[in-house]
Structure 1
Amino acid sequence: MEENNDQSNLLVSLRVLNQIGASIISEQSIEEMIDTVYYNVNRLIDAYSFAIGIYNPVSERIEYIGARENNIKLPAFSIYAHDRERFSGWIFTHKKEVIINDYATEYALYVPRPVTPLQGMVPASCMYVPLFVQKEIICILSVRTMVKNAYAPQSLEFLKTLGVFISRAIENNRTSSPKLEAVRSVPAHYHLNPLSAREIEVLNLLAKGFANKAIADELFVAASTVKTHTLKIYQKLDAANRTEAIVKAKEYGLIN
């Protein structure tokens, strides 16, 4: 019974994720995107504080505009991305996410001393997820809360999947100024078994013409793993081959 409840909760989470994703890919600005995500993300995880920090490769700083905490918009601020005494420095060095459930003790896993936020309160729990384009970090997605032990592994997977949509929205924002076309409604059967974050990454690379070996190299996984993801993509999109999967994914607004 517990396993069935877990599966049911996962399906609900994936459906909400896809709803959020479909809504943010047409936003024009980062602040609009943050507004949309902030007021929806708390349906699934405790996001007392939510922020998207955009990496500026010229200044090597992460720029935060429109961050939210306790329903209040925080003043804009920026931090040096490679500061080893901040979580961003650890993230840029290791290219991995940060998850903390007891800030008072677990900060030491990532930085030498407690980090004082430039804006907002010191959290009890927090997660930071880097978003990548062509293996390079383009931004860091973060959620924080005043509650200890707030985030489970599923919370991190949720944030990583959300990050896939946000990465795409940021790229759209950079390459086009007009509003994007409305996303075509996704069939009900897709919501019963949506694509995971990794499957969407594989699908994006398939759409760019990458072969399985090239995808494996790009994502640092085995070619056999890519093949497994590809077969799952076909199944979930009810597609017979790569071309059909790509066409359907574009129709559903899952990829460009």
Structure 2
Amino acid sequence: MTEPAAAPAEEQFPGYALPPGNYIVTEGRRRVRFSRTVGVWAAGIVVVALTLVGVSLMVTKKVPRYMCPPECGAPPMGTPVTGLPRFTAPDGSFSVSYPAPGSAYEVETKGNGVTAKFTGGDTGVLQLFSEPARGRSAQTIARDLLKQKFPDAKIAYEIPNAMVGYQRGYGEVADSWPQGTSNSYIRIRTVLLVSVKNDLALVAGAVGPYHAFGPDFGPGLPSAANVQIAQDMGKYVNSFTWNGDPAR
């Protein structure tokens, strides 16, 4: 230790002499309580949480409230997905989907619709076209078309709850027996569906060799169509739309 007299001035401090013994020293400053520390942290967390909730409420758009009825809103709908080419009449009166290029069809389009020749399996012909209704019912139009194409055809049965483009109409299945090249008769089946709207009839027809559906042939589900091309007909029948119909 440096002698006090020899130490520099900055190392010299005033000293006090006390007799030896035990002394009680008072606390220099108050201790921080644990509960106070926890309380400060909790208050800070609450403030931050309330701030975030407030910001979230400010940036979130309010959902409009509807009185149902009459304002019951509408289900969420996305943009329709289409994977097939679509034919639209030159006057815009109707449109319909038809088989895509490269499929088992040879497609030909005309002013009033589409003719697709099925080249696979039993073969056949699918026609999707329009016909002026001129005040006629769907049933009358179907019978007139059948007489034009197959005058000797016999109606096998009427299709219950027939629809074209989700519009209620009329449908029937008929058979004809044209003579083949070997002097034998071939049973040809015709499926015809017609619906009328805005005095315009939309027609879906399928023609092909009769082939009874069963466990080894057909869609698997019970069906009296009994013509192979009818299995691929449904999606085109449902795709029909008249001018002004909503997208679906």
Q: By the TM > 0.5 criterion, same fold? A: no
Structure with the higher fraction of residues in strand conformation: 2
TM-score by length of 1: 0.30
TM-score by length of 2: 0.31
Larger Rg: 2
Q: Which has the higher contact order (CA 8 A, sep 6+)?
A: 1
Structure with the higher fraction of residues in helix conformation: 1
